[in-house]
Structure 1
Amino acid sequence: NRNQSTQQQKTILDWLGPLSMSHTHRNILSLRSPGTGTWLIEDESYKSWAKTPKNQAIWLRGIPGAGKTVLTSIVVENLLHHNQSDDTAVSFVYCDYNDAAQQTSERILSTILAAIIRHRPLSEQLVDFYNEHDKIGVQPTLTELERVRRVEATRLSSVFVIVDAIDEMKDDIREALLNVLFNLAPYLNIMLVSRPSIDISRQFLRIKTIEANAKDQDIHRYAEYRLMPNKRSQLAAVLEGRSDLRKHAVESVVDQSQGMFRLAQLHLDLLSDMPNARAFRRTLLDLPLGLDAAHNETINRILNQSDVARETAISALKWLTNVRRPITLLELQYALAVESDAEVFDPEGLVDEEYILSVCKGLVTVADEPHGTMVRMVYLSHYTVLEYLKTDNRFHGPATEEQLALACLTHLLFQVNDTRNNGSEDASAQNKNPFHAYAAEFWGVHARGEPEAVLGPRAFQFVGDYKKTGYVRSALASSKSLFRFELANEYFFSRALRKASARGYTDIVQFLLDRAKISDFSVGTLGRALHSASRNGHLEIVKKLIHAGADVNGSYLTPWIAAEDSVPLCVACEHGHADIVEFLLGHTAVSKWYDCSGLPLELAARKAQLDVAKTLISHGADVKFGSVWQGSPLLSAAMAGHVDMMKLLLENGADARATSDCYRKMTPLQIAANGHRSVVEILLDHGASIDGSPDAYLTPLQTAVFHGNIVIIKLLLRRGASPDAPPGKSALLTAIRQGDEDAIKLLLDFGATPS
């Protein structure tokens, strides 16, 4: 039975798909210099937070480069050490801009839930929750995770949740996560870590704040550690026998650090590059002031290297500033070895890890892959480096994108030439070169925009080998490229035009339109391309296609594809392209056109496309008119919890009391009560009935109870909701069926009648 229970627990943990943070935590903690960061553990606000069970939130905030992530690792280590009993849990997430695609709000919440259930007996509710979802093969939604997370948290005396670098999350993901954590706050001790620029107070009105600026004594310890005399390095040789100079260097670094470990690190990196004591002293007198100045000085050091070292560093920084996903060290090494005029790959061009790190002067770091696979990954050493390099057109912009796209294309042509020379069509040739997967997937992405015209001949050279080698077929099938076509064949032409339109390749769209005889092809060819351009926000291509004869109101896709993907105006609304919506409406697009996903305004409301909604309303869209699929724009916005959209619709005449058959006669308030506190407040302020529609199955209060949202239950009760309505199936009965003790107590406190 114990083995079976352990296996079931492992199965559920694997199903939740939590982020693997232990390896990341160890790596970050290893960066801590001995003795640093103890001030935080001794801070009275921190000690109060760490000792008070549940319902405590604290914000550790600090300027860029202050060492917040290392401080977070110190907090995590302290909590893990002092909370080892079975009725406590510590969950932590280190957010990272390099891994943003993996760090969704759902996975972060799954990580928190996994920390609670790991090494503890599974509850019956959690097993049922897993079985229900596993039966139909779906993952839990954010709302469902929030609900089960709250139930599981009540089983423990203390649950600590630490989320570092929330400022590096995408805005929509951060907003969703903060809303969930706010709803869960009564059951957790939460620490959020970020720069001061992130507005947390909207969700956490009474959150305590600790300023995380690096303390002088910590920077002093860090500088002393870096300048230790027993280290074997050029710096140690320069400082040998010069204790006064070492002491002066430590004091100068502390004085110039401005509360930033990152700035102290850059200063020490600069000093480490000095060849002798005289240069060391001179540099010490003129340390750069501020992060930008320090980064600029580092770039100057890079540019003053030998030609080979300089070009290697610049190329590496260009790749790491502009890559579309995190890359491995091996991928970068192969990317750096590509020469644009070569016909075959030369392995003698590969450079080793130490050389890359040396010539990049501390702006690049290498670490094992964060999810424990031990693959070596390469990154810019700090988020501030990325921010700095993106402001420098030597490392970011169309010219750089052109170089990267050309390197990708050249690499793909290496494979073609290799296949020719070996007389084989071995599709597995792609596995011989680690850079293949990135080049095949992203060459077209780097080529988008200005690089198109320059790279056209190279791209068509690649396509010219399409029929000659199975390798090229394999590469094209797995890539985001668009050149899978023959102009004489409608299928290939239509496919190419649609791909080019979807990815914004304006010059290539014009190239295709100029060379094809449109009259020879069906009207759907242009229509499908118009749909793709409208969906992906490429206005200039939309204009070209309409000029070529595409019908703005046409529906061209095959019947088994969802109709929301068939009308250009609808897809432009749903995906937030207000400029295209404006253009289509100005070219006789019908604003009351609807499909199986609803009216354009409903689609905009569901996806919180505020500018699109304003455009539609300005062109006469009726805010009260709804489709049989969505009910009304207001209902769509309420379902999704979009506050600003709700305000816009209500200000333009939407009815807060309106119901819809498609939502079983429910009002927007009854829909929003499942978890959108701000929306509930707005609807009540605009006259929504506190008890909802009598024809609906649940009142707003029952909906909040059903979803276990204590914050909204309390809000509705305070605004006058009846805990006994409707007779015979009151909110109290709903809470009893749910087994929600907190809701039961709250309803009784507000006068619910026990039956």
Structure 2
Amino acid sequence: MEAVGGAAAILQLIDVALKTTAQVYKIYADFRDAKETHKRLAREMRDLVRVLHQLLDVVLDSDPDEPKSRHPEALRDMLEGKDSIVACCQEDVVKVSNLLGEVPSISWPVRKRKIDQILSNVASTRAQLSLAVQTQSMAIVLDIRRTLDRHSSYMRQHVESESNKAIFAWLNPPDVWESLRNALQKRQPGTGEWLSKTPEFEYWQGNPGSLWLSGMPGAGKTIMSSTIVTSLLTETQTSASAVVYSYFDFSNESQQEAQSFLRTCIAQLAAKNPTAYDILVGLRNRCSEAQGQQPRLEELLEATVAALGCFPQVFVVVDALDECSERGKLLNIVKELQSVRNLHLVLLSRPEQEIEKALSSSTKELPLRGAKVDQDIAAYIQERIHRSGEMQEWTGEDREKVEAQLSEMAGGMFRWVQCQLDSLEKCIDSNQVDETLASLPPDLPSTYERILVNLDVKSAARVRDVLVALAFARRPLQVGEVMDIVSISITDYPRGKKSGNTVYLNQLLSLCSSMVSISTSGSGEKKKQEMRLAHASVKDYLVSEQLRNGPASAFYTTPGQGHLLMAAKSVACLLNQNDVSEFGPHTLGEVPFLQYSALNWVHHARDANLETNRGSLDDLIFALFHRDGDAYINWHRVTGRHGPATPVEGYAWDIHIRDGSKLIDGGRPCPKERLLNGHQIDRPLHHALQWNLWRVVQRLLDAGHDPNGYSKGNRAPLHYGVLQRALESMDLILDRGGNIDIGDWIGDTPAMFCAYKAKDPVTMEWLMDRGASLFPVSRRSGSLLQCAAMEGDPDVLEVILRKKPLNVSPDIGVDHNYNEIADLATPLQCAAYAGNLACIELLLKYGANVNLAKGKVGTALHAAGASGNLEAFQLLLERGANPNAVNGQYGSVLWAAAYGGDRECVRICLQRGLSIDELRTIRLFPEKNWPDLSDEERDKLMSEIIRNAGDRYCRDIFDAARSGMTSRVKAYLDGAEDRKAELEKKHDIHLRTPLSWAAAGGHIETVKYLAMEGANLNVWGRGLETPLEFGCLAGRLDMIKCLLALGARAEFRQAGKYRTAVVCAEISGNKELVEFLKALEDDRTVTFEFEGQTYEHDGDKGYKRKQ
């Protein structure tokens, strides 16, 4: 069928229908007074014209040279020939027109009967044409879905392949597939296809730049974004261009942060292009060098921009900017991305002032409103009525009335129409349809209000619990979890109990009506049903002033009250698990809400701290912390010994309850008293401090809990308080005799803990104002100023310098002999050694002496050289450091730099002049100075100096192993009286062997040499950590593969261990390493590659090279 012929037939019928409609208006000047038949006729002509326009779009979009786009025979038969449906319909419409114009010789009742009969034929024809459009649109949709399935399959195969799975697990991008799938399931075929024909979109598609699609709440923006994504994927599937899509989601905290957008982008780009994948690998490697840390936002942005450059064109679709919890950061990211030359960026959001202001100068806005949106809504209404079993029983007149009135009142809001159709479906007769249409609410808030005010009192309480839980849960809740929430009572003090009534899901959903929805996520064994709020506008309504001041005010909540309810329900759920002996792996299946409760209640409780109307929450928490040891233990058995701050979800569960009765203690039952009173799990007061639950802290102190008591890890409550800026709780501890300078097991005070772990200037100011001392010394950190200069944030260091006593110098040195920092005496030396440039600048600003020689290392310049920190070395020279200083154990700055091993630092020293006498001691080129040497001679000289420095200043085998100096390790072993004893020596607070030091430092060659010499690969340190676990703590995947290949024990989870390999890997933050260990543990047939060889499991012997 030729497109032109089909289009001509359609246009002829449109012309006749429009003329007939005009004829009706001409006969009746005031159409509101027209007879019902005339009204019906006008509506039928209008609907016919709408369907014909849709059919015309299908015909004109065809490409005769593309077989896939040709229309099927059925569509050809409808349009071609004198007996076609379109031709017959045209004849019917002409007959109607003639009847309208006939002289009064034929009475109106006779004409009415004929017109009604013909209109029935027209309605039947319209239905067939609409079905044809839907069929053709469905074929297009199916083709799109096949494209998506191929795209999804390719992406998942790439992301989940054994070689790539670990790195994508480390990146941890949100699962945008679920969001796209859910949007497509709701999408009416054909919706939004008009957008691609607008001048603005066509220009954006052909030219890099930004386009902002703005729309009111409920305007169908997410559906529109899915239309754009599917269209782009279809059009670019044979090109080298990339399509990236990201969804912000109000119901999922992991999809509300600005970083989640960047993680999504780089993950999708890396899965499509090997160069982009290499950029991701490089990012991971740089973070691994920082011991498995997650990338900062700036690093993610830099990597994303680099990955975008790997494609000729990149189309990025970002939906729901307004649902991002870090909108300022996100808009800054958008601003940076807009400078990428090959990027086509489309953004969808509500037209909010902050977004409009940020985008106005750089982004073309296209509002989602107008006739095309109205046509989409009308098509949605028709399709919804057509699919509804309830509405198919209605008379044609009722269906027409609903179509007409909803189309007229929609105002561009798909969501409003959906809610009205949900309500109309429940009508049982024509009168009720008329009553519902007569009282349609004007907007979404009024719609939600009508749903809620019609609930009875008992049902209202349950529905409120469901709505509030779904609005403030930290992730989408599964259906079973919601059912548990509804059935748990929080007023049955001292223990929350299930109500005893069975809650029926379908009835509950019926009560919630249009305000909640159920979707399926995952597949196979991971498939699950999730319940969510049906739209972001529902959450907006729950916290709105309109609800607060309206007739449904009982449903009003604030974010604080929402989190309070979730915390109370969660703690009540935990209190139900009040018997250690009955608690086992089966419990998770029996109580779906249990794991969510265990991992999230403290977060909800913290977010509810400012609420004054507390209900029973504080009573429930106190009952968990003070009165019910079994429930408290079982809580930790779900989260792991580290509690909800660093949960080890699947692994901790299996370790701690696999016997179904009690925690394991070296293979023996562990008494509850030891668990509660020893250091097996954190004490209640410490948890209360960590999450700043100050009301509970007060009650625990009143009940006799020790304000200076040590918990797991030998830390006091104040150490936990600094982690979350728990100032109110910390004040209570000090009021009850807490020691502000109390040291933990290695002497770190709360202030030191704040300096290197919390890095919070507000908490540090609080500590300094209350008398935190500068003089305690830690075996790990030295003094407070040393700790802050070496590991802290410059803002924290500035607080200490500003608040310190006037008579205390910034050069204050504390003599000690602890670990690596034993050589560093002043804060400036510590900052230089760590390469902390901002702290160097601060210390100099506050009067630190750049050339002060103190302690073993010498000056700060010696310290920078000894650690190989080139930037710090250069900065100190710029600030007046003396390169000719001769101090400390290294003597000259040159030898300190040579020991640090940075060739550029050594080069700088040599360029500044070296005497002939000093050159002769090296015995290379004794008659030449540096300027006289060739480039080759200079490289050779620097290498010799660095080697000599290692020989001169390496103090023991631990120093050599920590620095990866294999030759020095060999020299120490060769010179030892007892070679085996030298290998097994233990050192420092962690009781590490040379092998453990080398493993933690990532020095593979040194580890291989020590193993070859007979070092014990499975020796335990103080916390029962083996070299494998020290390597895990450092987040070093290659080192773990090396140790396993050498024969290290492959038990990643041992009963009684303080920190297992998996736990250590999780502490490091290296998710790639975590996934690697889990894969080996879950499936002993899994192999791994190391240095070109494949290794397989060999029973108790660990891993061996595959033959």
TM-score range, shorter chain: 0.5 to 0.7
In 2, Cα distance between equivalents of 1:43 and 1:375: 40
Q: Do 2:636 and 2:681's aligned partners in 1 also have CA atoms closer than 8 Å?
A: no
Q: Contact (CA 8 Å) 1:100, 1:169: kept in 2 or not? A: no
**Distance in 1, Cα, partners of 2:635 & 2:294:** 39
Residue in 2 aligned with 1:407? 569
Q: Which residue of 2 aligns with 1:396?
A: 557
Distance 2:595 2:233 in 1: 39
Q: Does the 8 Å contact 1:335/1:407 carry over to 2? A: yes
Aligned with 1:466 (options 629, 632, 645): 629
Q: Secondary structure at the match of 1:416?
A: coil
Deviates more, 1:334-343 or 1:495-504: 334-343
1:540 aligns with 2:728: yes
Helix, strand or coil: the match of 1:499?
A: helix
Q: Which residue of 1 aligns with 2:477?
A: 327
Task: Indicate the residue corresponding to 2:597 in structure 1.
Answer: 439
Q: 1:29 to 1:90 in 2, by over 3 A?
A: same
Displacement, 1:162?
A: 1.7
- When the two structures are superposed, what TM-score results if normalisation uses the length of structure 2? 0.48
Residue 211 of structure 2 corresponds to residue 58 of structure 1: yes
Shift of 1:360: 0.9
Aligned mates of 1:40, 1:218 — CA distance in 2: 9
Residue 287 of structure 1 deviates from its aligned partner by: 3.8
What one-letter code is carried by the residue in structure 2 that aligns with 1:215? G
Q: Secondary structure at the match of 1:362?
A: helix
| Separation in structure 2 between the aligned mates of residue 221 and residue 573 of structure 1, nearest angstrom | 53
Write the deviation string for residues 436-462 of structure 1: whole angstroms up to 9, x where unpaired.
112223344445545878355555655
Partner of 1:682: none
CA contact (8 A) 2:690 2:724 kept: yes
Tell me how far apart the structure 2 counterparts of residues 301 and 128 of structure 1 sit (CA, whole Å).
52
Matching residue within 723, 744, 754 for 1:557: 744
Give the equivalent residue in structure 2 for 1:232.
Answer: 388
1:7-42 Cα shifts (integer Å, max 9, x gaps): 899456432344443343132123223433233212
Aligned pair 1:528/2:689, yes or no?
A: no
Judged with a 3 Å threshold, the aligned counterparts in structure 2 of structure 1 residues 521 and 123 are, in CA distance, closer, same or farther, namely closer
Residue 664 (str. 1) matches residue 872 (str. 2): yes
Once the 2 structures are TM-superposed, how far is the Cα of residue 83 of structure 1 from its aligned partner?
0.9
| Equivalences for residues 253-268 of structure 1 within 5 A | 253-254=409-410, 257=411, 259-268=412-421
In structure 2, the partner of 1:574 is 759
Q: Deviations over 1:295-330 (max 9, x none)?
A: xx4244224224453333222112112323321112
What runs of 5+ residues in structure 2 fail to find an aligned partner? 1-153, 549-553, 647-671, 776-782, 812-826, 848-859, 879-903, 908-934, 936-1107
Contact 1:239 1:246 in 2 (8 A): no
**2:831 and 2:839 in contact (8 A); partners too:** no
How many Å apart are 1:79 and its aligned residue? Answer: 0.8
Question: C-alpha distance in 2, partners of 1:466/1:569?
Answer: 31
Residue deviations 1:703-728, cap 9 Å, x none? Answer: xxxxxxxxxxxxxxxxxxxxxxxxx9
**8 Å contact 1:555–1:567 — kept in the other structure?**
no
Partner of 1:81: 234
Query: Could you tell me how far apart the structure 1 residues matched to 2:799 and 2:435 are?
Result: 60
- Amino acid across the alignment from 1:250: L
Relative distance call for 1:238 and 1:528 in structure 2 (3 A) is farther
Counterpart-to-counterpart distance in 2, 1:10 and 1:505: 44
Look up the match of 1:358. Answer: 510
Distance 1:324 1:630, change over 3 A: farther
What secondary structure does 1:313 align onto?
A: helix
Contact 2:318 2:347 in 1 (8 A): yes
- 1:402 deviates by 5.3
Aligned to 1:748: none
Query: 1:178–1:203: 8 Å Cα contact kept in structure 2?
Result: no
CA distance in 1, matches of 2:194, 2:906: 55
2:788 matched residue in structure 1 = 598
**2:57 matched residue in structure 1:** none
Query: Residues 696 and 564 of structure 1: is their aligned pair in 2 closer, same or farther, counting only changes over 3 Å?
Result: farther
- 2:541 aligned with 1:385, yes or no? no
Are 1:310 and 2:487 matched, yes or no?
no
8 Å CA contact retained: 1:321, 1:395: no
- Identify the match of residue 376 of structure 1 among 518, 529, 537: 529
Contact persistence 2:215–2:368 (CA under 8 A): yes
- AA matched with 1:664: A
- Is contact 1:368-1:376 (8 Å) kept? yes
Mapped to 2, the partners of 1:481 and 1:131 lie a distance apart of 24
Q: 1:245 aligns to what?
A: 401
Q: 1:531 to 1:365 in 2, by over 3 A?
A: same
The corresponding residue for 2:13 is: none
Q: Which moved more, 1:277-286 or 1:43-52?
A: 277-286
CA distance in 2, matches of 1:84, 1:301: 45
Structure 1 residue 94: deviation in Å? 1.5
Q: Structure 1 counterpart of 2:345, which letter?
A: I
Rg comparison, structure with higher value:
2
State whether residues 28 and 70 of structure 1, in contact with CA within 8 Å, keep that contact through their aligned partners in structure 2.
Answer: yes
Paired residue type of 2:196:
I
Counterparts of residues 157-236 of structure 1 (less than 5 Å):
157-171=312-326, 174-175=329-330, 178=333, 181-182=336-337, 185-197=340-352, 199=354, 207-226=362-381, 229-234=385-390
1:359 deviates by 0.9
Is the Cα–Cα contact under 8 Å of residues 535 and 571 in structure 1 kept in the other structure? Answer: no
Moved more, 524-533 or 222-231: 524-533
Instruction: In structure 2, give the amino acid aligned to 1:232.
Output: S
**Partners in 1 of 2:599 and 2:620 — Cα distance?**
16
Q: Shift in Å at residue 386 of structure 1?
A: 1.4
- Residues of 2 paired with 1:217 and 1:50: CA distance? 20
Shift of 1:90: 0.9
What letter matches 1:311 in structure 2?
A
* Matches of 2:212 and 2:774, distance apart in 1: 46
Report SS of the residue matched to 2:369: coil
- In 2 relative to 1, CA 251–124 (structure 1 residues): closer, same or farther, beyond 3 Å? closer
Matches of 2:336 and 2:533, distance apart in 1: 30
Among 667, 685, 695, the alignment partner of 1:497 is 685
Aligned 8 A contact 1:440 1:480 in 2: yes
- 3-state DSSP class of the match of 1:361? helix
Residue number in structure 1 paired with 2:770: 587
User: Contact 1:411 / 1:436 at 8 angstroms: preserved in 2?
Assistant: yes
Normalised TM-score (structure 1): 0.68
SS in 1 for 2:517: strand
Identity of aligned residues (%): 19
CA contact (8 A) 2:686 2:716 kept: yes
| Cα distance in 2 between the residues matched to 1:343 and 1:408 | 9
- C-alpha contact 1:485 1:492 (8 A) present in aligned 2: no
> How far, CA to CA, are the matches of 1:531 and 1:127 in structure 2?
36
> 1:160–1:270: structure 2 CA closer, same or farther, 3 Å change rule?
same
Q: Does the 8 A contact of 2:837 with 2:872 survive in 1? A: no
Partners of 1:61 and 1:211 within 8 A in 2: yes
- Does residue 21 of the first structure (1) align with residue 176 of the second (2)? yes
Q: Which amino acid aligns with 1:241?
A: E
Which of 506, 513, 519 is equivalent to 2:701? 513
1:310-367 Cα distance to aligned partner (Å, 9 max, x none): 3332221121123233211121122223345599758861322x33332112111111
The Cα RMSD (Å) is: 5.3
